[in-house]
Amino acid sequence: MRLPRLAIENFQFTLIFFVLLTLTGFMSLFTMPRSEDPQVANPGASVVVVYPGTNPEDMERLVVSPIEDALNELDDIKKLISSAENDLAMITIEFTFGEDPDEKYSDVVQKINSMRNDLPDDILSIDINKFSLSDFVNIFQIALISDSSDYAALDREATFLQGELEKINGIKKSEIFANPEREVRISVNLQKLASMNISLNEVIGSVQSSNANIPGGNIDIGSRRFNITTSGPYQSLEEIRHTIVRSSNHHLVYLKDVADVNFAYKEMSHFARFKGKTAIFVTGTQKEKTNIFNIMGKVHQTVHSYMENKPQNIELSWVFDQSNSVSQRVNSFFLNLLQGIVLVGLVMMLVLGVRASLIVMIVIPISLLIGIGALDFSRFGIQQMSITGLVIALGLLVDNAIVVTENVSRFTKLGYAFKDAAIAGTQQISWAIVSSTATTILAFLPIIFMQDTSGDFIRSMPLTVVYTLIASLLVSLSLTPFMASRFLKKNIHARSTRGQTLIEMFVRKVYNGQLNFALSHPKVTLFAAAFVFVASLALFPLIGVSFFPKAEKAQFMINISLPKGTNIDKTDEIAWMVENKLSEKPQVKHFTSNIGKGNPVVYYNILMMSQATNKAQLYVTLHDEALDEMDGLLADLREEFGNIPNTRIEIKEFTQGPPVEAPIAIRVIGDQLVILEEIVGEVEGLMMNTPGVINVYNPLATPKTELHVKINREKAGMLGLNLADIDRTVRMSIAGLILAKYRDAIGDEYDIVLRLPAGSEPQVDDLDRIYLTSATGAQVPLRLVANLSFQTRPAMISHYAKDRAFVVTADVATGMSVDEATRAIMAELDHYDWPKGYRYSVGGELESREESFGGMVQAILIAMIAIFGVLVLQFRSFTQPLIVFTAIPLAIIGSLWALLITGNNFSFTAFVGLTSLVGIVVNNSIILVDYTNQLRRAGWEQLEALKEAGQTRFLPIILTTGTTIGGLLPLTLQGGTMWAPMGWTIIGGLIASTILTLLVVPVLYNFYTSEKAFENELTEGDSEKGLLESGDSGGPALAS
């Protein structure tokens, strides 16, 4: 390879080239976007349909099934999930990974628009939402609090603050939560209507016609044209009150005679508190590819300015500021990186000495900054995954420089001129380090090309490693030999460092003897290695499997669910009880309560709870120092909240990784609702009896009782009544109906709503006072054509891939494996007597993990074939790459033992670590086999060449292993449950592989590589043949 010679002979250009790349990376470091976690963009969309007055079965038939049929015509569908409830339907479609999110969203919009005429005309709204983290994950949440101001005052202040925040560059959207909307309410008096024989339809028609805005056109008068304006829409509430409802015999009945017209708050379907006080929340989301610290700095300035002028009776508190978490996490990772650099430096100084260590250490910042520059060019930012990639790369990027520097140093001690030693020493091992770097990069490629959400989430980590390794290879083959030729001058005849002396003593007194024994007893050595490998595989069931671990944040959610149909006052009563319990806990810093809806989204895989009067959610923040007490606190709270009748209180910790519906999810699929309800109930009981399974939720556990108005079609027809008008009249009288819009003097728009008097709930007796208008104009009491009865229906109907399917979900207790609990449930379900046409499937964490691991296993096999191809190209042999590959099972031994001893599960990150290990551990074998081949080409006997290669390459092998471990150790010890499994997998695998490789690889080489076969390879012509005899490396290297 000519690169080392070119770099040394043209050192001026070499220096300028690397200064330019380093400065580019340095500038990127300060300008790159910063966030806590990667932004994952799934191709998909959700369709939300609001259709007041419909029950789940009608919603399924009229809305869900037609929309599913239409969407199912689209290509590349991964999942199609739907749910139908009273008044609401949600259809979620997810496309296969890799499809363009914008294009697929456009396809969904077009499909819904094209079939809109197939849906009922009186649907209130259809919203189509694109999957996007930046659209709904807030970077801050502010509470405006007051004990004395009404909602109107809080809303005015929140609206003003929202407007100021939306002016900030980088804020994508600011929203207000828990602010009740106002409406113009027409509170109709049913008794007065009945006494005057006036129908609701008359009231509706009069209001709608009086508010019509019909252009009058224009008229030419002389040479000028004038617009003609008509009375137009309502200008004031007084005009609405004076709407004429009926006129007969010169007697006018005004709206004010049969109804009250006033501004009023809409029904309180969602309200909130902060630490027990009435509150309204203001939130904001971040634009993609922006720096959260810059944005939040401006947000704090804006809030500070607002604080100086706000009303005294309104308080402002910060509920959540993501920049604090990002700062803590990024600083922690950078600290791990710095600690790793220090450890790597110490390891090298102990062994190589100061000068050689400084040469190698210069590679670290240059390679890291070049890698950061490439990462910025790829449009990735600074977040936990990319920084983890830098930490992993830290221990690997010095390997090449260590091998080069150590070899150049060895040549200088043998009497070579400085420049010649740098060139010959680098060229001797250049193809070996190119090959080893290529194998490491190939090991990370499966993670880069994982085609699912988990792969998207973690992708910046392997990309960072690859970019940094490529940079380190370039530096090691050009800049490092140049620096070695300049800075190793004074070490020509220097004695070995103390570290080198100790290692050399170990080689002479321990390793040589062990290697001689292994080579003399090959079958015993190989049998022992195989036995240890097989025995270690038996540890796997003891280790346990998981997906992504907890996020280790001092925050959690409390989800409250009461039976469907529970009013909001009862839900609020339970929420108050939970708040009182939290107030007694000294670990709790503050909490928000959202009754009727979930808290604004503050974490990327905690989705917002849907709006319902029977639900509430509390977002709890602990003091930072209370994080260690969190498990005990949550266990106490679960016990305290576990015995409240007819109430499900679920405590959810934040977890890492892409969102899943629940750790355990069993999907029961079939057709008939009655049979499904029975099966789902039995599955619920089975799960509740499974040890370690908690928070079991059955969506059909509490059916909803509703009042059914059954129309007598014959009677209605005889009286000239239209069925649609009857249904519409019932809905208006009970649920209310939006009649029109009213715009006030300052331009604010309000709904004009016809409903029962404020403060009264609809009663069954109200239906007796409703009159219908027949085709002849006669007033017919509703009771003449309708019978009332109570019916029990499912609270919701859900679909999976167009089939009816209900999902029973659960969490696992602390210390319990999700995999173990799910497998136990599946074993019971497999023995269940399933009726024909009914089945189950598994969702939750197990489904997500199998999707991720399944695709990754396939990618690993492809990567291993590619690595094998690289080794075949280097060694011109099929046998020697197989010998090199024995490092992989040897590494698995150490990985499994490390996970078992440290008490870590085989998680997704451990799987990533094992994948990385495939490319890392073969490097030592490559160095050993490659140097043995070079010695044999120089005329050494095979057995002597193996012993010499083991002794000579022992130091760089031990040193590269030590630096890799040193670079990873801080992250492993301080990275928590997310990164500890990955770190211990790599560290344990490296230790076992290094120890066993130094013994097993020479034995396999001697066992399977004959003298004749090697001679045949030489006669076929090798690109590096005669390298040692040509003078590039010289005879002295072989005489050592």
365-400 per-position pLDDT tens digit: 999 999 999 999 988 888 888 888 888 888 788 888
Give the global pTM. 0.76
pLDDT at 203 over 90: no
**What's the CA gap between 15 and 19, in Å, rounded?**
6
Asked if residue 477 and residue 377 are part of one domain, the reply reads: yes
Place of tokens 């009776």: 313
Give me the DSSP letters along 204-242.
HHHHHHHT------EEEETTEEEEPP---S--SHHHHHT
Exposure string (b/e) for 767-793, b if CB count within 10 Å is 16 or more? bebbbbbbeeeeebebeebbeeeeeeb
Which of 188-192, 325-329, 591-595, 627-631 has the highest average model confidence (pLDDT)?
591-595
pLDDT at 1025 over 50: no
Q: Confidence class of residue 712 from pLDDT cuts 50, 70 and 90?
A: confident
Average pLDDT, the chain: 84
Q: Is residue 1021 part of a domain?
A: yes
For the ranges 69-78, 523-532, 755-764, 884-893, which has the lowest average pLDDT? 755-764
Q: Is residue 319 part of a domain?
A: no
User: What are phi and psi for residue 776, nearest 5 degrees?
Assistant: -90, 0
Pairing of strands 125-130, 44-50: antiparallel
**Tokens encoding 610:** 């849907």
> How many domains is the chain partitioned into structurally?
2
Nearest residue to 673 via CA among 162, 260, 60, 227: 60
Asked if residue 853 and residue 769 are part of one domain, the reply reads: no
Specify the CATH number for the domain of residue 235: 3.30.2090.10
Q: What value does the mean pLDDT take over residues 40-53?
A: 83
Give Cα 371 to chain centroid, integer Å: 24
pLDDT at 26: 93
Answer yes or no: are the C-beta atoms of 44 and 104 closer than 8 Å.
Answer: yes
Place of tokens 């091992």: 429
> What stretches of 729-866 adopt beta strand conformation (E)?
737-743, 749-755, 771-773, 779-781, 786-793, 796-800, 803-812, 839-842
**What's the CA gap between 368 and 396, in Å, rounded?**
11
Of 734, 757, 777, the domain-final residue? 777
Answer yes or no: are the C-beta atoms of 156 and 270 closer than 8 Å.
Answer: no
Asked if residue 854 and residue 770 are part of one domain, the reply reads: no
Q: What value does the mean pLDDT take over residues 645-660?
A: 83
**What's the CA gap between 193 and 200, in Å, rounded?**
8
Q: What value does the mean pLDDT take over residues 624-633?
A: 89
Asked if residue 856 and residue 748 are part of one domain, the reply reads: no
Torsion of CA 150, 156, 160, 166, to 10 degrees: 90
Asked if residue 389 and residue 245 are part of one domain, the reply reads: no
Q: Is residue 876 part of a domain?
A: yes
Q: Is residue 508 part of a domain?
A: yes
pLDDT at 230: 58
Exposure string (b/e) for 412-449, b if CB count within 10 Å is 16 or more? bbbebebbbbbbbbbbbbbbbbbbbbbbbbbbbbbbbb
Q: Is residue 958 part of a domain?
A: yes
pLDDT at 967 over 70: yes
Q: Confidence class of residue 442 from pLDDT cuts 50, 70 and 90?
A: confident
Asked if residue 855 and residue 750 are part of one domain, the reply reads: no
Asked if residue 392 and residue 537 are part of one domain, the reply reads: yes
> What stretches of 602-690 adopt beta strand conformation (E)?
615-622, 648-653, 664-670
Q: Is residue 621 part of a domain?
A: no
Asked if residue 1025 and residue 945 are part of one domain, the reply reads: yes
Task: Write the DSSP symbol of residue 906.
Answer: B
Exposure string (b/e) for 638-660, b if CB count within 10 Å is 16 or more? beebeeeeebbbbbbbbbbbbeb
pLDDT at 876: 84
Residue type present at position 662:
A
pLDDT at 1035: 32
**What's the CA gap between 893 and 1004, in Å, rounded?**
18
Helix ranges, 692-781 (H):
713-718, 723-735
Distances (CA, A) of 732 to 53, 188, 716: 10, 11, 19
Nearest residue to 26 via CA among 475, 471, 376, 459: 376
Asked if residue 254 and residue 389 are part of one domain, the reply reads: no
pLDDT at 1037: 33
**Tokens encoding 319:** 């509920």
Asked if residue 885 and residue 768 are part of one domain, the reply reads: no
pLDDT at 180: 79
The number of CA neighbours under 13 Å toward the Cβ of 553 is 22
Cα radius of gyration (the chain): 37
Q: Confidence class of residue 758 from pLDDT cuts 50, 70 and 90?
A: low
Q: Considering the chain, what percentage of its residues have pLDDT values greater than 90?
A: 32
Nearest residue to 665 via CA among 842, 827, 850, 819: 842
Torsion of CA 1024, 1027, 1030, 1031, to 10 degrees: 140
Q: What is the pLDDT of residues 912-945, one digit of tens each?
A: 888 888 888 888 888 888 889 889 888 888 899 9
- Find the domain containing 731 and state its range: 182-214+228-265+720-777
For the ranges 535-539, 861-865, 985-989, which has the lowest average pLDDT? 861-865
Q: Confidence class of residue 813 from pLDDT cuts 50, 70 and 90?
A: confident
Q: What is the pLDDT of residues 87-98, one digit of tens each?
A: 889 999 999 887
Asked if residue 891 and residue 751 are part of one domain, the reply reads: no
Of 756, 777, 798, the domain-final residue? 777
Of 742, 758, 777, the domain-final residue? 777
3 state DSSP class of 261: strand
Q: What value does the mean pLDDT take over residues 543-548?
A: 77
Q: Is residue 662 part of a domain?
A: no
Exposure string (b/e) for 892-928, b if CB count within 10 Å is 16 or more? bbbbbbbbbeeebbbbbbbbbbbbbbbbbbbbbbbbb
Asked if residue 419 and residue 522 are part of one domain, the reply reads: yes
- CB contact set of 274 (below 8 Å; sequence gap of 6+): 143, 145, 317, 319, 590, 591, 592, 593
Q: Is residue 746 part of a domain?
A: yes
Q: Confidence class of residue 217 from pLDDT cuts 50, 70 and 90?
A: low
Specify the CATH number for the domain of residue 974: 1.20.1640.10
- CB contact set of 448 (below 8 Å; sequence gap of 6+): 455, 459, 462, 463, 466
